[in-house]
Amino acid sequence: MALDNHIESILWTEEQISQRVSELASQITEDFKSAPSSSAPVIVGVATGAFLFLADLVRKINLPITVDFVRAESYGSGTESNGAPRISFDLKNDIQGKHVILVEDIVDTGNTLSCLIAHLKSKGASSISVCTLLDKPARRKVNFELVGKGKFYRGFECQDYFVVGYGLDFAELYRNLPYVGVLKPEMYQ
Ligand code: 5GP
Ligand code: MG
Ligand code: MG
């Protein structure tokens, strides 16, 4: 079956995402443009879900940024978080004294983000901002705190659906959809 046929409905189209990513990138550029090049932000993508968002976002940020990755694993192959996440892949670069912007696909319970913020804070980042494509505030269990003058950027507020596409998976599938949507119920079986 073609990939499109697995999807029940599209929540955000490729065009809507692209437009919103441009707005977020402009906001980030504006907020950090007065900093000297030596303290330009480090954009940290949270693998794997943020890979498309990160790729599109950084190409629209008009600053001399650097890019790095972390991986935090809390999900099995299901749709529910299975406890406190574990950092299974760490940064390559030193972030001591740097402004970090953590790029996430979605903030759900907040567990992953609070764990990652604590981790990056312990490495001496001077500020930690978060830029997430999607936010599900209704499901928040853990409140995360930004560090220093860090800001919270978000693309869209998401209702309590399990969504896939544009980096977000179900059992590692659907990351390559260019839009964000909801799966047909039979695809979970
Ligand atoms: P949290 O730790 O905030 O509960 O969850 C964060 C991670 O859970 C996200 O980075 C993402 O990988 C996964 N997640 C949460 N909600 C969804 C969703 O609706 N769809 C998908 N595909 N993953 C989700
Ligand atoms: Mg994620
Ligand atoms: Mg996942």
Tell me whether residue 108 is one of the annotated catalytic residues.
yes
pTM summary value: 0.95
pLDDT classification of 186: cutoffs 50, 70, 90: very high
At 88-145, the pLDDT tens digits run 999 999 999 999 999 999 999 999 999 999 999 999 999 999 999 999 999 999 999 9
Mutate to test the pocket of ligand 1, among 108, 156, 164, 166 (most ligand atoms within 8 A of CB): 108
Which atom of ligand 1 is nearest to 109's Cα?
Answer: 4
Residue spans of beta strands (DSSP E) within 54-177: 66-75, 81-89, 99-107, 127-135, 152-157, 163-164
What fold, for 14-163? Rossmann fold (3.40.50)
Whether residue 153 contacts residue 23, with contact meaning beta carbons closer than 8 Å, is answered with no
Residue of 105, 108, 160, 169 with catalytic role: 108
The per-residue pLDDT of the chain, averaged, comes to 94
Whether residue 130 contacts residue 150, with contact meaning beta carbons closer than 8 Å, is answered with yes
**Pocket of ligand 1 contains residue 132 by CB under 6 Å:** no
Rg (CA), the chain: 16
Cβ < 5 A residues, ion ligand 2: 46, 49, 105
Ligand nearest the Cα of residue 110 is: 1
At 37-56, the pLDDT tens digits run 778 899 999 999 999 999 99
Is the complex ipTM more than 0.95? yes
Identify any residues that bridge with 101 across adjacent strands, giving them in sequence order: 43, 129
**Pocket of ligand 1 contains residue 114 by CB under 6 Å:** no
Identify any residues that bridge with 45 across adjacent strands, giving them in sequence order: 69, 103
